[in-house]
Amino acid sequence: MMERIEYFKARLEANISPMEYRRAKEENPEGYLLVDVRVGPEEIKKEKLEGAMVIPLTELQERMSELPKKKTIILYCWDTWCTLASKAAVLLLENDYDAKELYGGLAAWRTLDFPTLPLPEITSSSTERSLDCEC
């Protein structure tokens, strides 16, 4: 059974806070890539973190080749309760990428009033959508 100290060390190694990410990106702009892996209907995915690439978890396996192996991939999802970024990190780590999860996802980023960008408007005429985000 994992001791608590080992758990917390592993957790710190696997995650990065929004503040730590911004500091690391400032020090090494080419060393990191932010990736939005959120899944859900477009009407609730209204924004993304500034500088983020959008690859929903459901498309990650097929689009993995778009990600550079020489950068640390910082994955984010909705909030602390969402597991999409963790699932994405496991997939990337299993495929020899360097990946970390952004603590708190979009919610933490917004709470800190860090910049976001709007996502394109919905073009689908469908009014009935599932709210299942697959978290």
Asked if the structure places residue 132 within a domain, the reply is no
Flag whether pLDDT at 121 surpasses 80: no
Asked if the structure places residue 85 within a domain, the reply is yes
In the prediction, which pLDDT does 124 show? 43
Asked if the structure places residue 35 within a domain, the reply is yes
**Which CATH number covers residue 22?**
3.40.250.10
Count structural domains, the chain. Answer: 1
pLDDT band of residue 125 (cuts 50, 70, 90) is very low
Structural domain containing residue 92: 4-118
Strand pairing category for 47-49 and 72-76: unpaired
pLDDT digits (tens, 9 = 90+) for 68-119: 999 999 999 999 889 999 999 999 999 999 999 999 999 999 999 999 999 8
> How far from chain centre, in Å, is Cα 3?
28
> How far from chain centre, in Å, is Cα 9?
21
In the prediction, which pLDDT does 40 show? 84
Asked if the structure places residue 134 within a domain, the reply is no
Asked if the structure places residue 77 within a domain, the reply is yes
Asked if the structure places residue 128 within a domain, the reply is no
Asked if the structure places residue 57 within a domain, the reply is yes
Flag whether pLDDT at 33 surpasses 90: yes
Q: What is the mean pLDDT of residues 130-134?
A: 57
> Whole-model pTM above 0.85?
yes
Asked if the structure places residue 45 within a domain, the reply is yes
